[in-house]
Structure 1
Amino acid sequence: MELQGLLREIAEKGVLYPNTEAIQMMDEVSNEARELCMKLNTGVYTDEEIRQQMSQIIGQELDENFSLFLPFTTDFGKNIRIGKDAVINSGCRFQDQGGITIGDQSLIGHNVVLATINHDYDPDNRGILHLAPVVLKEKTWIGSNVTILPGVTVGENSVVAAGSVVTKDVAPNTIVGGNPAKLISHLEDKLK
């Protein structure tokens, strides 16, 4: 199996079973991602060098306005897509096997966790992985110490308040916060 086949299988099925070729391939990609993240996080680099290394981790060329503040970790890497002018602050952890999409001009605060994997609820099947993407639409602002769980889409222009745990989709042009995150206000109310 090649990487694109693995990514298609993840997208189509959303479930990975232990001791399969897909899991073995995922482990190989994860090993590479951990090694590349370790290199990235233990050196002193220019912004351009950081962009180049992050491009290698995710397998996508990043635009010159992409900004990443270290440290950063991902446990897979190849299932992250980042739009133009995105900013990722320090201490972020991405679990991207299920897919992470970051829209243009999105801002991600310090210590944000984007998680795309759940284990099976059945104790006898905890090795089964259920994967679902996290999607941040254009111009989202994710506050510091936010956790976004599998399957969540944050609508364009929305704000997620610091410290929130997002368990459900966030409507466009809204501000949410809390654990679990709930509607605080509509963005238009803050722009008056």
Structure 2
Amino acid sequence: MKSQMNLGTKAYEQIEKIVPINQKLVQELNTGVHSGDEVRQTVSQIINEKIDPSTEIRLPFWTDFGRNLHIGKNVFINSGSMFTDMGGIYLGDNVLIGPNVTIASVNHRIDPEQRRHLDLKSVYIHDNAWIGSNVTVIPGVVIGENSIVGAGAVVTKNVPANTIVGGVPAQIIRTIKGEN
């Protein structure tokens, strides 16, 4: 399910066409006053998929590409979150994203001669997950259903379903056993 791709050549053509359009939409979105419906409509244009009316997105909302961000139903995205989505970011239903979260699906190569080439690895955040404020999720991570990522964590490894993680790097704190 994870994709890896060298973006040192041809794939930049798509980026060069989409990014200027989407960056203008992102800037317009973040510099005006908009109703929830207007926000969903503009984000739908940016990601090229219809946002469900049950989803709420607080501004400012940031994405560097937009077309590889997929948002489920009844999702809440708090203000200041950044989605670096060229490699694909998938948010399941009922996901909560805290303020100032960064989710990255793109990384640069270590080799200095290839540093401008990109490696893409999708990020999956499954149903009912809660990502706390100021969390960073790195490329290729899967966050399991019902899991919680504590505020300020840096998620470098997959998070099992029904698990609470926190820290830098994020470590398992405990499992969730049907609590309310």
User: TM-score normalised to the size of structure 2?
Assistant: 0.96
**CA distance in 2: counterparts of 1:103 and 1:187, whole angstroms:** 19
- Which residue is equivalent to 1:77? 66
Moved beyond 6 Å, runs of 4+ = none
Q: Secondary structure at the match of 2:24?
A: helix
- Which residue is equivalent to 1:116? 105
- Which residue is equivalent to 2:132? 143
**Gap regions ≥5 residues in structure 2:** none
**CA distance in 1: counterparts of 2:108 and 2:94, whole angstroms:** 32
The answer on 1:191 being equivalent to 2:171 is no
User: Which amino acid in 1 is paired with 2:153?
Assistant: S
Q: Deviations over 1:80-118 (max 9, x none)?
A: 111100000000000000000000000000000000111
5 Å matches for 1:89-168? 89-168=78-157
The answer on 1:67 being equivalent to 2:56 is yes
The answer on 1:52 being equivalent to 2:34 is no
Identity %: 46
Q: Residue 140 of structure 1: CA displacement?
A: 0.3
**CA distance in 1: counterparts of 2:68 and 2:3, whole angstroms:** 15
- Which residue is equivalent to 2:12? 23
Q: Deviations over 1:18-37 (max 9, x none)?
A: 2x221122122122221110
Q: Secondary structure at the match of 1:51?
A: helix
Q: Secondary structure at the match of 2:11?
A: helix
User: TM-score normalised to the size of structure 1?
Assistant: 0.90
Alignment size in residue pairs:
180
RMSD: 1.5
Contact preservation (8 Å) 2:3, 2:122: no
- Which residue is equivalent to 1:6? none
**CA distance in 2: counterparts of 1:90 and 1:12, whole angstroms:** 27
**CA distance in 2: counterparts of 1:80 and 1:25, whole angstroms:** 15
Q: Secondary structure at the match of 1:38?
A: helix
Contact preservation (8 Å) 1:34, 1:73: no
Q: Secondary structure at the match of 1:135?
A: strand
Judging changes above 3 Å, is the alpha-carbon distance between structure 1 residues 42 and 78 closer, same or farther for their aligned structure 2 residues? Answer: same
Contact preservation (8 Å) 2:106, 2:121: yes
The answer on 1:178 being equivalent to 2:175 is no
**Gap regions ≥5 residues in structure 1:** 1-10
Q: Residue 13 of structure 1: CA displacement?
A: 5.7
- Which residue is equivalent to 2:77? 88
Contact preservation (8 Å) 2:2, 2:121: no
